[in-house]
Amino acid sequence: MGKALEFLQQEQVNRAACGEAMHQLMTTLHPICRSITGDGVRQSLAILQQHIPLTIHEVPTGTAVFDWTVPKEWNIRDAYVKNARGEKVIDFQQSNLHILNYSTPIAAQMPFAALKQHLFSLPDQPHSIPYRTSYYRESWGFCLAHETLLKLEEGAQEEGDYEVYIDATLTDGHLTYGELILPGESEETVLISCHCCHPALCNDNLSGMALSTYLAKALIEQQAVRQQRYTYRFLFIPGTIGSITWLALHEAEVEKIKHGLVVACVGDEGSLTYKKSRRGDAEIDRAVLHALAQRQQPYEVLDFSPFGYDERQYCSPGFNLPVGSLTRTPHGRFPQYHTSDDNLTFVTPAALGDSLATYLAVVDLLERNHYYCNLKPKGEPQLGKRNLYSAFGGKKDAKASEMAMLWVLNFSDGSHSLLDIAEKSGYGFQLIAEVASILEEHDLLARMPDGR
């Protein structure tokens, strides 16, 4: 039983309970209007600090980060559109998706024709409010269900001017992100990164924020028992500009990142999907694929592509970090994506718990995936005299554990990791790692130093 997996059992926290807790956290975060900067992010990170000791960083507007510049900080208090009768026909207080994210302030009267240039809807999904942004071009707008737009259009002829009101500020300030470093035996780091900039969208990406929080909690609890091998670095950052900012400010530390995962869309009921790192055969890629295969449930594997979440920054050619992304249904593949339908009912505690368990299995695999050296490499060592092998010969079948021992002994030649041996043998990593421990205790194997 691996260290990380022990967590779920030791703490008597089963997947369902963990899933419920994550869903509860998402419910708390849901009403807050997040963006790539501003108080929404700060409030959200403050809530996460009730669970894990996040450090909050503030990067000033105007800071040059590679080809980008940290933008002005956006804050919004209220926004609505009123018809001539003074009725709020679009109201930010009802859904923070109604505002074009990063809208500039406005207080004006205008006819429907002028207003309409600033309205966004989805004709193909008439009941859903779309999520749209205008981070890097100053603009204002409202998003609304297409059916609402149609109703406004119908009534527009008899109506007079509309009152448009956005009480927002776009001023010099800061970009805010949260970071948690859990030091391990080694400075070699596992990066866990999630974007925290989306407002009332649950799968994308309150689910990623919740899973990252509970994954960190689990590792903290384990660390109380035993030091981890790797240092873990959790990032809660705004998408794109956040990872670019972090990379620009931490260039010297980037080389410590040995494995990484971008966490997003981990709450829907679809099957798990792994998008490989740009390298395609990094240890993280193979670790996740092995963990997925061991689950005996359907899953999908995608090659790297330069779209998606912050893996596109971590895997940009100047860094090319071994960072993949483990999601359930990937971005853009579910109709609720970037609409008001990506809500608290679209994500389930069961799916969240299942995702977390898989992340923990991956972490456990990384922690224990060492190279070993067979100390008796010439012929097989005599397992029988160590009581590691059946006393009576000639039996038709051997035990899985005995066969796994022979696999580990035969391939522990310094060039095969335990994961390599698991893959070669067809046995699960858990069994392979278990018998390696036993063989190590009997002085038949020696663990090779990391970072060879």
Residues that bind a second copy (CB under 8 A): 65-68, 100-101, 120, 130-137, 139, 240, 243-244, 247-248, 251, 278, 305-307, 312-313, 315-320, 332, 337-338, 374, 376-382, 384-385, 391-398, 403, 406-407, 409-413, 425
- Among residues 184 and 199, whose Cβ is nearest to a second copy? 199
- Among residues 165 and 319, whose Cβ is nearest to a second copy? 319
Residues in Cβ contact with 147 at an 8 Å cutoff, skipping those fewer than 6 apart: 126, 127
Q: Give the C-alpha separation, 386 to 60, whole Å.
A: 64
- Among residues 301 and 403, whose Cβ is nearest to a second copy? 403
- Among residues 301 and 350, whose Cβ is nearest to a second copy? 301
Residues in Cβ contact with 119 at an 8 Å cutoff, skipping those fewer than 6 apart: 141, 142, 143, 144, 149
- Among residues 37 and 412, whose Cβ is nearest to a second copy? 412
Buried b or exposed e, range 100-135, using 16+ CB within 10 angstroms: bbbbeeeeeebebeebeebbbbbeebeebbbbbbeb
In the bound complex, what is the minimum distance in angstroms from residue 104's beta carbon to a second copy? Answer: 14
Q: Which of 428, 425, 393 is closest to 408 using CA atoms?
A: 425
In the bound complex, what is the minimum distance in angstroms from residue 16's beta carbon to a second copy? Answer: 32
Q: Give me 67's structure tokens.
A: 């080809």
Token look-up 């971005």 returns 331
3-state DSSP assignment of residue 178: strand
Is the CA virtual torsion 83, 89, 93, 96 positive or negative? negative
- Among residues 8 and 32, whose Cβ is nearest to a second copy? 32
- Among residues 131 and 230, whose Cβ is nearest to a second copy? 131
- Among residues 136 and 160, whose Cβ is nearest to a second copy? 136
In the bound complex, what is the minimum distance in angstroms from residue 220's beta carbon to a second copy? Answer: 30
In the bound complex, what is the minimum distance in angstroms from residue 122's beta carbon to a second copy? Answer: 8
- Among residues 220 and 301, whose Cβ is nearest to a second copy? 301
In the bound complex, what is the minimum distance in angstroms from residue 379's beta carbon to a second copy? Answer: 4
Q: Which of 199, 201, 192, 268 is closest to 236 using CA atoms?
A: 192
360: amino acid identity, one letter: L
In the bound complex, what is the minimum distance in angstroms from residue 292's beta carbon to a second copy? Answer: 23
Q: Which of 410, 396, 419, 414 is closest to 439 using CA atoms?
A: 410
In the bound complex, what is the minimum distance in angstroms from residue 406's beta carbon to a second copy? Answer: 4
Token look-up 């995608």 returns 302
In the bound complex, what is the minimum distance in angstroms from residue 158's beta carbon to a second copy? Answer: 31
Q: Give me 398's structure tokens.
A: 């051997």
In the bound complex, what is the minimum distance in angstroms from residue 56's beta carbon to a second copy? Answer: 22
8 A C-beta contact, residue 120 and residue 143: yes
Q: Give the C-alpha separation, 423 to 417, whole Å.
A: 10
